[in-house]
Amino acid sequence: MGSDREVATMVSNPDSTTEATESALQVAVIGEALVDIVESANGRVEYAGGSPMNVAFGLGRLGDRVSLLTSLGGDERGRTIAAHVADAGVQLVVGSQSAPRTSTATATLDQTGAATYDFQIDWSLPEDARLPDADVIHTGSIAAFLPPGADVVVRLLGEHRSGSIITFDPNVRASLLPDHAQAFAQFEQIARLSHVLKMSDEDAAWLYPGASLDEVLDHILDLGPAVAAITRGGEGALLATAVHRYTAPGVAVEVADTIGAGDSFMSALIHSVIELLEKGLTAAELASGDALPDVELERIGDFCVQCAAITVSRKGANPPWASEVQ
């Protein structure tokens, strides 16, 4: 699930199921998949959810080849999630369906559509878990912080960093985290392994209280990522490299709810990285921090905002297909 307050802009909202041409490059996503139980004045509805799962699903809809290493039960909810990701072409990594039960998160929506969450999470992975070869590896949210699975995530990132682009979205869920100091140390450890890092302004405020968004971006870039992004709800997003900085504007949209908006932004950001790799950008060039011209950073920021806006304009974590975005 995405941040409770994410990027919005004015876009069309067709109900498209058109598949995009699949990329030749591979993305591997590591992280939780769960069932979102949404409670509102209109009743109770269940959706497949979990931030990393939403990112994988969004990437599949944008036409990328995606595998997902997660932890599902063999219950009805686990089978529902497996069918859901398969609908977008996402492949589950072997061992992803061996948990005793499928985790849940109950989202209660207020009158504005903003969500608060109650989690029933068991995040674990086999100690010998392996990833398929991938050009980009993404993780984030609960999976990056909650033991014992988080320890396996860090091991996998370390093993693959030299050959893959690492992307990270902390998507902080404070009620599930240990004390601030421990969570902060875990965040910075993974940030140092990452090439691309996205967070919300709420994440930034929790991790770096009192710091301005520009100060947070500067610090993140100093840790090692080549690209850093901070989403700012309806005000848009900030994107930064060592030499360029761009404020992607947001335009008001009629919000159905905010579930999955940040995950949609993250999918679009990873998709943009895949496009750059397909055009010949190397991982070493991206890691250098000065390979993206300002016009390219602007294009990426506007695209990510557009994808997030489509998601907030309809209920649930329902990211766009490639045919829905310009």
Distance CA(10)–CA(57), nearest Å, equals 22
So what's the pLDDT on residue 289? 65
Residue with tokens 């990452």: 194
Number of other residues whose CB lies within 10 A of the CB of residue 10: 12
Q: What is the pLDDT along the chain (326 residues), one digit of tens a residue?
A: 444 333 333 333 344 444 445 668 999 999 999 998 888 888 888 889 899 999 999 999 999 999 999 999 999 999 999 999 999 999 999 989 989 999 998 878 888 877 777 888 989 998 899 999 999 999 999 999 999 999 999 999 999 998 899 999 999 988 888 789 999 999 999 999 999 999 999 999 999 999 999 999 999 999 999 999 999 988 899 999 999 999 999 867 877 777 789 999 999 999 999 999 999 888 778 877 677 888 999 999 999 999 999 988 888 788 989 999 86
Residues ≥6 apart with Cβ < 8 Å to 118: 105, 106, 108
Distance CA 225, CA 324 (A): 30
Classify 28 as helix, strand or coil: strand
Distances (CA, A) of 210 to 127, 175, 205, 325: 38, 20, 7, 36
Q: What is the pTM of this model?
A: 0.89
